[in-house]
Amino acid sequence: MFFWRNDVDGLRRAFTDRSGGVSEGAYAGLNLGGHVGDSSASVRENRARLAEGVAVDVDRLVFMDQCHGADVAVVSEKPTGPLVVDGVVTAEPDLALAVLVADCTPILLSDVDAGVIAAVHAGRPGMTKGVVGQAISAMRDLGASRVSAVVGPSVCGRCYEVPLDMREDAAEVSPESRTVTWTGKPAIDVAAGVVAQLRSNGVDEITWVPGCAREDESLFSHRRDGTTGRFAGVIMRSAP
């Protein structure tokens, strides 16, 4: 179920993989995406298993309807309707926040002393639109001052070929994202751009979990498979 997990000081952070789920076919395994064509019953069961895995009630597990933008929402409970944003922030304990990806970069942010956490979805559009800075700003509005970050597995730069003009547009925002594929074609390293943006927003404590979604078949990858599921980053702070 977990590609990476870290529980310390009441803070739970994890990235899932494909194992331990009930989905079949193109979505085989622990598909957590409810918008990709998988059986809704399978997704509900997979999400229930994730909730159990991080020891939270499924009604306290918050997912976003991500839209490749830079909007961020602050929540104190699970919304009753769609949460159409690419970042979600809370100061509420025992509320788990999740970000869904299949190549994009998942980011988990926290300030344990302030009791503020966030989950962020950053694809190329989100990176260039500044979703990272928006999420950190929302956290600081809630009292966060020493934000730490975990950047999860995503498609790596050598696997993310793009047209030259698209790469250069991204590099104008984050020069660190400019790269080439393993064949020398123009490419974007979104995670490298995200890490640079975290540092420019005053985040010094960064854990970058190694792994390329396209190269590692234990992860879902849209670029590799086309029709596929979604894995997740999830973060929760337990009540003292």
CB contact set of 159 (below 8 Å; sequence gap of 6+): 181, 182, 187, 212, 214, 215, 223
Closest CA to 86 of 48, 124, 56: 124
Q: What is the pLDDT of residues 76-112, one digit of tens each?
A: 999 988 899 999 999 999 999 999 999 999 999 999 9
Domains in the chain (CATH in brackets) are 10-237 (3.60.140.10)
Is the full-model pTM beyond 0.85?
A: yes
Element (DSSP H or E) covering residue 166: helix 164-173
Percent of the chain with pLDDT over 90: 96
Distance CA 45, CA 23 (A): 9
* Spatial contact of 106 and 85, defined as CB atoms under 8 Å apart: no
Distance CA 65, CA 76 (A): 17
Q: pLDDT tens track of the chain, all 240 residues?
A: 999 999 998 999 999 999 999 999 999 999 999 999 999 999 999 999 999 999 999 999 999 999 999 999 999 999 988 899 999 999 999 999 999 999 999 999 999 999 999 999 999 999 999 999 999 999 999 999 999 999 999 999 999 999 999 999 999 999 999 999 999 999 999 999 999 999 999 998 999 999 999 999 999 999 999 999 999 999 999 987
Closest CA to 132 of 100, 103, 173: 173
- Amino acid at position 106, single letter: P
Element (DSSP H or E) covering residue 100: strand 96-101
